[in-house]
Structure 1
């Protein structure tokens, strides 16, 4: 059976994600990274989407409201960036049940990506859904970090396995990140340092055996 990407919605679920992975060559290690400067915001883009019984009009409302909030904040501060938030109606067979949401991203001059999202609900207006995602993205931008709070904890294991010392401008650590550090230090015996918003770790240089 050939799998295809399908979006699932709470509470039914049933979504499918297809992941393509390029493993390291045998004996190779992940390289340490230095991410200490984010650079200016170059562009913001995203997609507001609906599926099932919901009309495309709701996606257009979310996209429009997100553009308004982001434009007011970034362009109002004298910043000129590309801004493109589109609306999408998931075709039949590409989503399970009925649902909606919005994904937003910001790209920086140093090729950092920041993201935010929000999921629709019958109890929340599409305008408020879009405002939440847009406000979260602006908060990530205002933090001045190289990763957003959602990606922050995902860097921990990679830093621990890499060869060399990694430093990432991460900002205040989330509880998820602190939990990931605690478990990773137990398993690998590495030590993480946190200072001036920077997360640092000298990895174990784990080599691929595949």
Structure 2
């Protein structure tokens, strides 16, 4: 639902895209009021993971003001100044660490001090990207905008499966005065497949069975396939049993496609066969490769954000079919920053010559915008 504006405060209704709105509010400095949050539900108001997100944003900012209604169905958020620095946050186990990590990745370059964040909780969750995916596919995208890694790091200290979690990651991100414009229209050919299979509080043979099943599919596509196993033990295995797989396809143009699959939550009454899991993940990766584009479909919105915040120059990126999440994010970018994207659907034959995808029929979208020249004001004083 589009925003209404009152005294320069953007007003939204409903709980959808809560994270998008708080993130863009923090970056733009514009206040938001979100009303009627699950007001028609039996259990109305904010969920635990949403309150946890507000707390995390409060830790990385200075001067943020939050007002909650008694029922929790309305929240007013007035962002403070991004300061970053050293933060430890215990994430809600209702969502994965990736839910919070993506927000920090978007905010990190614009903080006053380099981020050094310890996040604790569920490292692999059905609703969110895993920490492996952020590390393999999202960090390389940020590098294209800031050029020098200069301490950009994501370290998985412990893994944690739902429902109890117990995982821990350390995320470090350097600060920048601004991000550069990007012209990214070629994604190349897949040259290798890499992956990791983790087994937490289950038999180590589970991981080996997942590896064999996944390789059985991928080797029909490409000979260069290597899948590592992470046999976690003791405290490093988290608090709940589970196993899963993350696969990454890398192209010769440094594009990374990622797919994931994990076992069902312990105690749900159903069992997951390792062979089914391996094949499921391999098929998901092939589908992601078929979609094409220069970025993984789940990370399109991050690219759009950094394109919009870039220097006052034209940025171009060709992506696969736009996800619903990305479409809404583009609408929010217009409301918070006034940035509009030109979207062109590329027909067969319009793809870049180097894409290596002449036989594919998946729809490609060329995203073009002029950056607003967003400047990290705090960076000047360092």
For residues 176 and 191 of structure 1, what CA distance do their matches in structure 2 show?
16
Distance 1:11 1:165 in 2: 45
Q: Name 2:255's counterpart in structure 1.
A: 112
Equivalences for residues 32-71 of structure 1 within 5 A? 32-52=181-201, 54-71=202-219
Query: How big is the alpha-carbon RMSD for the aligned residues of Structure 1 and Structure 2?
Result: 1.8
Q: Secondary structure at the match of 1:204?
A: coil
Q: What SS does structure 1 have at the residue aligned with 2:172?
A: coil
Does the 8 Å CA contact 2:161/2:200 hold for their aligned counterparts? no
Match of 1:87 in 2: 229
List alignment gaps of at least 5 residues for structure 2: 1-87, 89-116, 119-155, 265-269, 347-364
CA distance in 2, matches of 1:44, 1:144: 15
Q: Which runs of 5+ in 1 are unaligned?
A: 76-80
> Once the two structures are superposed, what CA deviation does each residue of 1:67-119 show, in whole Å capped at 9, x if it has no partner?
111112x14xxxxx521012221122113221110010011111111111111
CA contact (8 A) 1:46 1:104 kept: yes
Matched, 1:190 2:332: no
Which of 160, 173, 177 matches 1:21? 173
Matches within 5 A, 1:121-132: 121=264, 122-132=270-280
Q: TM-score when scaled to structure 1?
A: 0.88
Structure 1 residue 45 displacement after superposition: 0.5
State the Cα deviation string for residues 9-66 of structure 1 (Å, max 9, x = none): 1111343221110111xxx3201111111111111000111011x0110101111111
Tell which structure's C-alpha radius of gyration is larger.
2
The separation in 2 between residues aligned to 1:107 and 1:11, in whole angstroms, is 32
Distance (Å, rounded) in 1 between the aligned partners of 2:283 and 2:300: 18
What residue number does 1:165 align with? 314
User: How many equivalent pairs are there?
Assistant: 200
Partners of 1:134 and 1:87 in 2: CA distance: 16
Asked if 1:101 is matched to 2:244, the reply is: yes
Match of 1:78 in 2: none
Equivalent residue runs for 1:128-139 within 5 Å:
128-139=276-287
Q: Contact 2:308–2:370 at 8 Å: present in 1 too?
A: yes
* CA–CA distance in structure 2, aligned partners of residues 200 and 7 of structure 1: 38
Counterpart in the other structure of 2:375: 207
The corresponding residue for 2:47 is none
Aligned to 2:101: none
For 1:184 and 1:119, the matched residues in 2 are separated by 33
Match of 1:8 in 2: 160
Alpha-carbon distance in 1 for matches of 2:157, 2:332: 32
TM-score by length of 2: 0.50
CA 1:92/1:205 → structure 2, altered by over 3 Å: closer, same or farther? same
Matches of 2:157 and 2:342 in 1, distance apart? 39
Between the aligned partners of 2:340 and 2:369, the Cα distance in structure 1 is 6
